[in-house]
């Protein structure tokens, strides 16, 4: 008995990877845009400030999605097993 899951079809694999890559770049872009907007509000010296604390979770999301993309490419596309501890 093997521990490997059945391999998905190529269109399913590549469309899923494409979706993850797009989601990663959109998350990173949204974080950068919100950070720039926050810095502009801080530099404006006005009485009100804009701070969206939820956007600071996105670097972790980008890191997690990047690791997931790496593992999928390494295991499914390159067909190399990831060595366990």
pLDDT digits (tens, 9 = 90+) for 28-70: 999 999 999 888 888 887 777 778 889 999 999 999 999 999 9
CA dihedral 16, 57, 52, 29 (to 10 degrees): -40
Q: Which pLDDT score, from 0 to 100, does residue 39 have?
A: 87
* Residue 17 belongs to a domain: no
* Residue 53 belongs to a domain: yes
* Residue 19 belongs to a domain: no
* Residue 67 belongs to a domain: yes
Average pLDDT over the chain, rounded to whole?
87
Q: How far apart are CA 59 and CA 11, in angstroms?
A: 29
* Residue 46 belongs to a domain: yes
Domain containing 46 equals 28-77
DSSP-assigned letters across all residues of the chain: ---PPPPPPHHHHHHHHHHHHHHHHHHHHHHHHHHHHHHHHHHTT-S-----GGGGGHHHHHHHHHHHHHHHIIIIIS--PPPP-
pTM score > 0.85 for this model?
no
Q: How many structural domains comprise the chain?
A: 1
* Residue 1 belongs to a domain: no
CB atoms within 10 A of CB 45: 6
């Amino acid at each position: 008995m093997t521990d490997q899951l059945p391999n998905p079809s190529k269109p399913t694999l590549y469309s899923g990877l494409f979706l993850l890559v797009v989601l990663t770049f959109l998350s990173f872009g949204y974080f950068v845009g919100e950070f720039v907007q926050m810095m502009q509000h801080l530099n404006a010296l006005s009485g009100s400030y804009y701070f969206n604390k939820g956007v600071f979770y996105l670097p972790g999301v980008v890191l997690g999605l990047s690791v997931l993309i790496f593992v999928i490419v390494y295991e499914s596309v390159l067909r190399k097993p990831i060595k366990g501890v």
